[in-house]
Amino acid sequence: MLTPKFASMISGLLLVSTAIATPLSSPGNHQKRAIPRSSVPPTMAPYDRADYVYDPEKEESGFDRRTARTFDSDAGASHTTKRSPTDLERRYDGWEATPICNKESFGGKADYNQVNELMDTLLMQNGKPEVGAGPKKCAMAGCKNGNSIWFCNDPTTIADIERASNQSLLWGPYRPNLYFGVRPRIPESLLIGLLWAKVEDYQSVQHNFRHTCEQHEGMAGYGWERYDPRHGGVQTIHDAGNQIDITTSFFKETGEGSGDRGGNWGVRIKGVPRADAQEDLKSTVVFYASTEGQGLNNRLEVKNVDELQGGGFDGDVVLKGENLGLGEYKIVVKGDEGTENKHPSVTHPSGSEKDLGKTLVKSSTVPEDAIWQTKPILFAMLKEQIDEYVEKYTKENPPPPFQLYTIKSEAGSGNVHFVQKVFEGAFEFDVLFSSSAAESELASSDLSKGISEIVKTFDTRFDSIFKPAAPFNSGKYLDFSKSLFSNLLGGIGYFHGNSRVDRSYAPEYEEDNEGFWEEAAEARARADVKLEGPNELFTSIPSRPFFPRGFLWDEGFHLMPVVDWDIDLTLQIVKSWFALIDEDGWIGREQILGAEARSKVPEEFQVQYPHYANPPTLFFILSAFVDKLTETAPSSKDAEYSPQLLDKEVATSYLKELYPLLKRHYNWFRKTQQGDISSYDRKAVNTKEGYRWRGRTPRHILTSGLDDYPRAQPPHPGELHVDAISWVGLMATSLQKIGLFLNEKEDVEKYTKQLTGIRSNIADLHWSEKDGVFCDATIDEFEENSLVCHKGYISLFPFMLGLLDPADDGNKIAKILATIGNKEELWSEHGIRSLSIADEAYGTDENYWRSPVWINMNYLIVSRLLALAQDPTAGSDNQKTATKLYTDLRINLVETVYKSWKETGFAWEQYNPETGAGQRTQHFTGWTSMIVKILGMPDLSKGSAKVRDEL
């Protein structure tokens, strides 16, 4: 009999499913839908990708139409030609373009943006291209006027390395906002995901369908136990609410014979009922594949639709597709053969219509802008089937929940395909993706072998790089460390879409007047915010459930462990970030790309402002890269992960490519965050090196990264922020080092001079002898310079960023060490507090950066203490103090994060300085994962030993 809860469930499904504005269409009822002009990337506007169809009459000898490949008749090499400008970046950043359609020549390397713009211009002038074959190692797009655009492969080593790396890193779980979501690093391509739920009753199912990572779903922990972006890994999701543990074992086959389209991959999905569940627990699992974009060369369909019988498929479900960047491919969702899977038996009359021992498939076409809304789409399909059941069997006699919550099989073509299985008890099935460019298709036996090999190779490599040092050399810390690092890597994602930007450049944004924050707020309210892009970003993220997007100041910390593991991966991420830089040098501090990303962000925080800076932590990574280049040459075993270290010429090419962008960002920061020294009575050797963050309000400086950390009150346009000048010092130090490596003598001289001025002004403008720390400066009511000291992380920035000389600044360092180690100030048994316990603002208001222990700041502190302990120029007293503080702090930090992880199953955003409990955002495996490097730092409890600088 229908209960009120059952009626409520149907109503709830209706509410969720109506989130999709446009009705779904079933297979065989498709209509070609024009892409709204506003959603077309600028580079795509003049033409439709469906027009990229090869004309056989234009083909010449040596041209493979299916794979769009030209052959080098001498060397036998082949190079994939991109059929759409939007795909050029994926494999051919280093191509040369010589267009002659418009009788002009543009020789030399062109980045993909330039090539796209050029293609658009030529296509608008000359019409749509016809593609023909070109000479050796070249691809040609023929123009209507008979001329041609030639794209010729650049045979330099850097291009070869990038192509090889793109091959092994093309695919991955690059949708980290999902419990399991796979996609390639290609825009408008293939999206893969997984949903599941317990189906034991009517009322809880809609709330228990898992898909996106969420904080409120009562998970007992989830994440990657082992994961390497080049090979794959094993993830377990402890779903207490659904009483089941889900394991996703992901493997990539990208070696010899895998072709030039990213190779094959597979995932084994396994479910085991938890201890509190019945052995015959009923679970439903839904795998899906969807395609973004439109056109004849972007399709996906169920290939073996003729095997659909009795409401489902007895064996495998085979999907075949094609994409401009991926070529042709096949996805096989395996059946029960070779497994011990069980399925519920249905005594209800509906059981004769739909056998739950079969695999159910629903294909549909949905609006392109709704593709990412997977759960509402699925719920709409479930609601459709529920309505049919209720109409047929009445509300008083519905099918059991595990039958009711199923899709109606309608397999065919479409842009979204759901594959549903219903299990009783434990289960296991494979999903296998095979590229037509590979020599052979992936089999389940290959997946089994690959999963086993991933675990072994990961463990071996991890032990050689991050093995915990005493006193943490027991097995429990090793597993803990592997988990945190794997989840840092597992948080790497690929994002594509437009973003909201305010380029009004209102004069109020200069923040030059008293009360400037009110004027700036009014300017923001009237600004004409526009969508820019689309852009793409390859990046790690702070937290899968809460911050599943790129943050500029987080990323440098994220990459500190990654650069030790895989330099090439690290440099690709850095390059991806700097590809976002505008002509002035600005990079948006938070990358909210596309509607899916915006769905996780309140509207008032979505807009990015080109005068807002952020701590430039990526300079840490480039400085570390140069350090590694000057160390002992790596062994050949690093070839896959660090080819740049094996070839200094390649490394130099990379740095030369990035160096101008680094300088542009540095100059932009200095200009937009400039502080005022000369207008006030301030004594400083240098009149230029003073800085303050824009975006200031009485309660926050979000742009500083330390949102609510107390500052001068009220805000004043004459403020100078000690953390801002310290970050400029870090950039100058890094650029000086890179310039020296590249033999840019004039630049080195310039940055050396600027760095000298920065260090002088840090002392002249920010040091408080009375307080023994560095402080912000402001202008008081008498229009005089005044230091405002809130002891905490801000006070330590010159120390943390290595801007103090151990010999010359010994007295200042001694006072800073005393503050760090003072239990009445910053020291706690769980790490260094963000704010002094003696400060009147301690623990007040939001209490975000006003007491908690943050691992990224503590990492900088413990690293600097280690360097000081190892430096004989620091003086014996400071060395001794630093050694003691380093040893105790390292232990406190590790034990705090480990115990909380053990108790809760998660790493956390911050830690309570009194109890050590993890708090605020869970699954914060971004910079909290830096504990992995702290675990691997040397044990100095028995004396110091010379090691390299951790930064």
Burial (CB count within 10 angstroms: exposed 0-12, middle 13-18, buried 19+), residue 373: buried
Cβ partners under 8 Å of residue 675, min gap 6:
690, 691, 692, 718, 719, 720, 721, 724, 725
Coil, helix or strand at residue 241: coil
Q: Identify whether the C-beta of residue 896 lies closer than 8 Å to the C-beta of residue 911.
A: yes
DSSP secondary structure code for residue 853 in this structure:
B
Cβ partners under 8 Å of residue 396, min gap 6:
1, 2
- Assign residue 263 a region (left: φ > 0; alpha: ψ between -120 and 50; beta: otherwise): left
Question: What gap in Å lies between CA 718 and CA 514, rounded to an integer?
Answer: 9
Question: What gap in Å lies between CA 931 and CA 480, rounded to an integer?
Answer: 10
Residue type, 83: R
DSSP string, 169-197: HSEE---TTBSSEEEESSSSSEEEEEEEE
- 214: tokens are 């969420």
Coil, helix or strand at residue 299: strand
Residues in the chain: 951
Active-site residue (options: 200, 596, 909, 950): 909
Active site residue 747: no
DSSP secondary structure code for residue 23 in this structure:
P
DSSP string, 511-552: --STTHHHHHHHHHHH---EEEEEEEEEE--SBTTTB-SEEH
Active site residue 430: no
Q: How far is CA 12 from CA 17, 207, 375, 634, in A?
A: 9, 9, 13, 59
**Owner of token pair 């909380």:** 900
Question: What gap in Å lies between CA 145 and CA 143, rounded to an integer?
Answer: 5
Coil, helix or strand at residue 248: strand
**Owner of token pair 């971004």:** 926
Nearest 5 degrees, angle CA 803-CA 809-CA 812?
100
Q: Which of 814, 942, 940 is nearest to 870 (CA)?
A: 940
Active-site residue (options: 510, 707, 747, 829): 707
- Assign residue 225 a region (left: φ > 0; alpha: ψ between -120 and 50; beta: otherwise): alpha
- 817: tokens are 């060490």
- Assign residue 848 a region (left: φ > 0; alpha: ψ between -120 and 50; beta: otherwise): alpha
**DSSP H helix total and E strand total for the chain:** 23, 33
**Owner of token pair 């005044």:** 786
**Owner of token pair 């972006």:** 229
Question: What gap in Å lies between CA 598 and CA 77, rounded to an integer?
Answer: 43
Q: Identify whether the C-beta of residue 750 lies closer than 8 Å to the C-beta of residue 758.
A: no
* Residues linked to residue 285 through DSSP beta bridges, in sequence order: 196, 421
DSSP β-ladder status, 360-364 and 908-911: unpaired
Q: In 473-615, where does DSSP find H-type helix?
A: 475-490, 516-526, 552-565, 567-578, 594-598
- 130: tokens are 């016809």
Q: Identify whether the C-beta of residue 706 lies closer than 8 Å to the C-beta of residue 794.
A: yes
- E strand spans, 111-221: 130-133, 138-142, 148-152, 171-172, 181-184, 190-198
Question: What gap in Å lies between CA 425 and CA 504, rounded to an integer?
Answer: 59
Tell me if the bond preceding 471 is cis, omega within 30° of 0: yes
Question: What gap in Å lies between CA 872 and CA 866, rounded to an integer?
Answer: 12
Cβ partners under 8 Å of residue 11, min gap 6:
none
Which are the catalytic amino acids?
A: 707, 909
